[in-house]
Structure 1
Amino acid sequence: MTRHIRHAAFFCALLLVALLVNATRLQVFEASSYDGNIANRRAPIARYGQPRGDILVGSEPVTGSHDTGEHLRYERTYANGPMYAPVTGFASQVYGTSLLEHTEDGVLSGTDPLLSPFPLWNDLARDRNPGGDVLTTLHRGAQEAAYEGLAGRKGAVAAIEPATGRILALVSAPSYDPSVLSGNGSSVARSWKSLNGDPDKPMLNRAVRKTYPPGSTFKVLTAAAALDSGVVQDLDEPTDSPDPYRLPGTRTSLTNESEGCEDVPLRKAFEWSCNTVFAKLGVRVGAKRMAATAQAFGFNDADLRIPFSVAESTFDPKVDRAQLALSSIGQYNTRATPLQMAMVAAAVANGGKVRSPYLVERTTRASGATVSTGGAGPVRQAMHPSTAVLVKQLMADAVREGTGTNAWIPGATVGGKTGTAQHGLGNSGTPYAWFVSWAKGDRDLEPKVAVAVVVEDADADRGEISGGGDAAPIARAVMKAVLKSSSGDGS
């Protein structure tokens, strides 16, 4: 009998070991495959079983969480959703996440190991930390001014603090309310279909994900390249430029919207945006040097992230002389995002230094303890400091007595450049109205804000000055909002 008891005990022990081995296999080695199985409801139930952390502008959240009482308990909510959608993106129980909701999902959902003081224990115990918060660099007043300025029109605004690269405003219009995608009901699917089928593309982030021909705003770079290379040494010397200017190797003549551009100095050519002068300067500088200057400002960089990805702004280095002439006035196949052109204005304002733009100031635990901080990346010198001083003069002159007078702000120094970009087959599309600028209050030691505005459906009949008429007032409102807070008159 004793022998049978020993055999039974041994068999039970063997079964126990097998059970433990199998449990270890399932819970450790094959856990990821079960976690990712579409039939496993535990992961989404856990994910939406607690409130999501918030995205903040200043000290105020622009997101929240609504308790539905269902299995997928908490749905995302948004305050002023359309205004902040180009920053927050959406967090949907059906369609996933985008923009900051996506890149900062680990912090917001509570899965980032940095949120726990004992990350290894959390992994083993499968505990989920409360969601952390993401504090953005946005300036609430600048964001509101940009959004209100674009009301009813297609376009985008990007604003940067030149000395740091902090993004102060990021607006795209038309926009949408991300809350309509938050839940999992039938209305979410209908909203998704409607938004994606809308010809105005409200879900497209025009500030960072769409590139446009920059038009005459690109003349800021052409002026920098001409001064840096020594092609122009004095802002007030004649440029030996004909009007009209025959594109090299062709029978096509380039003309100007303004009169009196023949042989004018760079200062006057910049004030009145003379195409012929800048096209010829670009040819004299050469494709290699023009491309190098564009790249120094941030063009042809496919890796820019803020932290979500930014569409690549491009300047083609493999062009003939006629194409180079057009590229040098922001046409042909030159393309730029509004964020890129804000970087250009910021570099001029910052002594020629390009700071990488960033959108996240810091992330915190639910308790408020800092998890990580953002900050400026490596500094790139886009042009000589002495050249930056001269280009600042050109931009200030353009606002004081050129095409950018609508951006003038009392009690401040403002520099800007208008642009009207032709596009479409045979340039048949409604021109895009551009304005890039920077501003410094009279009591400030350095410029506080750089802005780029593009309006897609601007007045097509106003030629070059439409950039000043349609886009400059929006830039002015954004700059005023920033300068007002920096002077202590507002927040």
Structure 2
Amino acid sequence: MAGRPITGSKATGHPGAPFQRTYTEGELYSTVTGYWSMAFGRVGLDGVMADDVQAGKDVPTTIDPNVQRAAFEGLRDQRGAAVVLDTETGAILGQVSTPSFDPGAFSGNSGADARTWETLKDVDGPLRNRALRKVENPGSAIHVLVAAAALESGLLASVDAPTNNPAVYIAPGSTTRFSGDPAHCTNATLRAALRYACENVFAHIASDLGADALASTAEEAGFNNDKMDTPVRAFESTWPREPQNATQLALAAGGLSEVKVTPMQMAMVMALISNGGLRVHPRITTDPKWSMPPHRALSERTTEQLRSAVGSSFSAWVPSASASWALSATRTPAGRPVAIAVYISSPSDATAQAIRVAQRIAGDSPPDGQ
């Protein structure tokens, strides 16, 4: 990590298993390294790159220790995740999942290792890599992709074109009401609709565009890909190609129902907007075999429009999923362009906390995050 090893090995004195994996600052980097246990197997980068490790090769990562620490410290008391991508290269600069664990605490096969494992192995516990493998509704955080579809298709000429939308929209053949603040969401422009999370506007756009156009835009951004390897595989983020009815289509446009995302996917969305419509492939190792060329997913004009509308950040609270999101496309103090996705699981609105974590990562807040 920045030229400093964070994993190693030590002699065990047992002929059958002469070496045991060791970890430096294990809790800080466990979402990067995964674990390699004599008794409980191996996962994460330690699992995927096991052949290189056993051959004595170094496995350099793209992680920036300062970014990693800022994300970890910001999320320490939360159940959540954070992903930070270089928007131009796809390099993963930070990848955190909390609560975390120390992989060195169970890398052997002693009774103490077994007892530690028992405390960690809960299905939604610390061993779960939420950055890559927690799929959740994004809620209004996904409105930016619906806006992209409207601009790409020509449904709306710009983010400043009025949408001719009532404050309450009812999809054809439905009785479900999609509403927005009447003062800001009646005949709102896309710019206003993104700012005020106008459900009525995006439900209406979904009805006008249809399922294919929305799903195609989402897939260009990385959805419905079950082979997203960093090289550690991320779970698939899903967008319905054939929603059951108009209500489900409108719900999808609001980031609900069958629309599910990982924090990694939401970082990719922000990187796409920041990078002029070029989608980068996220990678956590510098090995060139995991590097892929960028893919043109959106037009430059569309992303220019969206950047002007959303600025550097936005957030969303999804009560039905107890999920809070904070997303940002900004630059580090050193000037590096980054996309940040912060997810917090909480029964109450935690957007303020998520925003503070994102600000801390970007270097826009003091060390205590206040």
Shared fold (TM-score greater than 0.5)? yes
Q: Is the 8 A contact 2:12 2:18 kept in 1?
A: yes
Is the aligned partner of 1:471 residue 2:354?
A: yes
Structure 1 CA distance, aligned partners of 2:145 and 2:200?
Answer: 16
2:264 counterpart SS class: helix
- The ranges of structure 1 where at least 4 consecutive aligned residues each deviate by more than 6 angstroms after the TM superposition are none
Structure 1 CA distance, aligned partners of 2:84 and 2:157?
Answer: 31
Structure 1 CA distance, aligned partners of 2:278 and 2:142?
Answer: 17
Once the two structures are TM-superposed, the CA of residue 136 in structure 1 deviates from its matched residue by: 0.3
Structure 2 CA distance, aligned partners of 1:221 and 1:97?
Answer: 36
Cα separation, partners in 2 of 1:142 and 1:340, compared to 1, 3 Å: same
Select the structure of larger CA radius of gyration.
Answer: 1
Counterpart of 1:66? Answer: 10
1:474 counterpart SS class: helix
Residue deviations 1:52-90 (CA, integer Å, cap 9, x gap): xxxxx1111111223333333322121221121111011
Say which of 68, 78, 82 aligns to 2:27. 82
Say which of 310, 313, 319 aligns to 1:416. 313
Q: Which runs of 5+ in 1 are unaligned?
A: 1-56, 111-130, 363-372, 397-414, 424-428, 461-465, 484-491
Once the two structures are TM-superposed, the CA of residue 418 in structure 1 deviates from its matched residue by: 1.3
Once the two structures are TM-superposed, the CA of residue 374 in structure 1 deviates from its matched residue by: 4.8
Once the two structures are TM-superposed, the CA of residue 257 in structure 1 deviates from its matched residue by: 6.4
Counterpart of 1:132? Answer: 57
Counterpart of 1:276? Answer: 200
Alignment of 1:354-433 (within 5 A): 354-362=279-287, 373-374=288-289, 376-396=291-311, 415-423=312-320, 431-433=322-324
Once the two structures are TM-superposed, the CA of residue 442 in structure 1 deviates from its matched residue by: 9.6
Is the aligned partner of 1:480 residue 2:369?
A: no
Which structure's relative contact order is higher, taking Cα pairs within 8 Å and 6+ residues apart? Answer: 2
User: Under a length normalisation based on structure 1, what TM-score does the superposition of the two structures give?
Assistant: 0.71
Say which of 180, 188, 194 aligns to 2:105. 180
Say which of 219, 223, 229 aligns to 1:305. 229
Q: Is the 8 A contact 2:167 2:182 kept in 1?
A: no
Is the aligned partner of 1:349 residue 2:294?
A: no
Counterpart of 2:84? Answer: 159
Is the aligned partner of 1:97 residue 2:42?
A: yes
Alignment of 1:38-77 (within 5 A): 57-71=1-15, 72-77=17-22
Identical-pair percentage:
34
Alignment of 1:194-233 (within 5 A): 194-197=119-122, 200-233=124-157
Cα separation, partners in 2 of 1:136 and 1:441, compared to 1, 3 Å: closer
Counterpart of 2:346? Answer: 457
Counterpart of 2:368? Answer: none
Counterpart of 1:316? Answer: 240
User: Under a length normalisation based on structure 2, what TM-score does the superposition of the two structures give?
Assistant: 0.93
Counterpart of 1:434? Answer: 325
| Mean CA deviation greater in 451-460 or 97-106 | 451-460
Structure 1 CA distance, aligned partners of 2:78 and 2:124?
Answer: 10
Once the two structures are TM-superposed, the CA of residue 417 in structure 1 deviates from its matched residue by: 2.3
Q: Is the 8 A contact 1:438 1:479 kept in 2?
A: no
Q: Which runs of 5+ in 2 are unaligned?
A: 366-370
Is the aligned partner of 1:326 residue 2:229?
A: no
Once the two structures are TM-superposed, the CA of residue 200 in structure 1 deviates from its matched residue by: 4.7
Once the two structures are TM-superposed, the CA of residue 260 in structure 1 deviates from its matched residue by: 2.7
Q: Is the 8 A contact 2:159 2:306 kept in 1?
A: no
Once the two structures are TM-superposed, the CA of residue 375 in structure 1 deviates from its matched residue by: 5.5
Structure 1 CA distance, aligned partners of 2:324 and 2:310?
Answer: 17
